[in-house]
Structure 1
Amino acid sequence: MEVFKQYTEYVNIVKNLKEPGDLYKGTKEENQAFEDIYTKANNQEVKVSTAKEFIKTLSSFELDILKKFANLSNEINPDKLSSEGAYNLLMHHYEKFDFNNDGLIEVGENKVVPHIPRKLSNIEKQALVDTFNSLAFKDIMLASMTIISTQEIVPTSIGLQYYEIEPSSETIKNRVTTFTNYLDNQITDFVTLSQNEEDEKVLHMYKRIFETFFHSYNKRVDELKKEDKNL
């Protein structure tokens, strides 16, 4: 497994972060199955560079376990995984890391904005962990929205920048639909467990902000496509 200094320091700080509300709560058997996969990967000294090949050796049951613990909406296809995305599937939630230093953490085929960015100093990381741990659920969700909304994902031209972000507006729309459906399921599961009306309101607000944010993205993409056709 990866043990370089910056990663080890990151994990030692982030593992103290209060468990996120969307963390998958498996059965005793599922939790043991995940730990068995983790142990097997550790015994085989799996690295970021070898994670894809390791995942290809796993059974359909083991892949399903990884999917559940990573909260993925799609089945795991090893051939579609990046090295980082494959490795992070094998890790506990606090061990997932932005190995390629692009500002996002790849988990499976998904890319997520980390609560604790890699680029911060260790002092800043610890301060952010302490801050999150002191917040109520509602405030944590609002803080997460603030972090996400600062990401520059809306393209400004139809050229290289646009194509690097997403070559097809239909693809991004499908991904947004998949994620909002996933949010609906998560909201249902969370509310069933917490039975807290205030938490339910916060989650629905989170979903509305997410949909509004990506509506702006899709609108801009459509505008750029029209401009491109007129060139």
Structure 2
Amino acid sequence: STSPRRGALISGTETAYSRYRLLLIAGTKPGDRWYRERLLLTFMGIGIAWGTMLLTSLMFLPRIGVLDAKAFADVPVGTLVFLTCALSIGSVGEATGMSQWIADTALPASLPSDILSTVIFISAISLAIHTLIGSVLATAVVIFPILISFGDVAGLGVSDAGAVLIAYQMIASQFFLSMHQAPIASGMELAGYGEKTVMKLGAPMTCLALVQQVLVTGWLFLADVL
């Protein structure tokens, strides 16, 4: 079974990866997308591998860290391999043209100009892919490049950063199973609840996530944030 230390490591690592990836994509101008893989902060040119190493190292620091040296024995190598592969999907998709091909063949040629259609479209795609893949991180690195490629061709009515934000709101809030959210998976060991409890909460939480999409994104659009 997953120990509390291992659960903390998985949850912390996936959360850090997800937030870092969102920063990389949302914080980059459309014309400078090549730079987002090299961006840690707006004023630091550190690659994603170095940024990840820094975030993980901070988790092991004395006093401020959440893990100690003994936690190395519980490091899930399989999870590390999975995260490495997941982070590669977006780069491989862009380098090979896969993201553009999916956007051209699997998505509609155009969308209605109203913001509600855009929110529903992005939310539906995000929900479907997240349900199939499971991981927030893996879903993000798959769907973000596709949405950006689609927006360049057909137009989404929002900026690249807006499309990423709408998608991230969906995949970060929605779940049906524990595998869909790392904090829930790690909490199962500590709190003692099971998969049935997660499933009972998953459906209503997904409905609330959809309502959140309309309200929050609509407000951001009216406030001219998107």
TM-score, length of structure 2 as denominator length: 0.26
Q: More helix by proportion, 1 or 2?
A: 2
TM-score, length of structure 1 as denominator length: 0.25
Greater RCO, 1 or 2 (C-alpha within 8 Å, sep 6+): 2
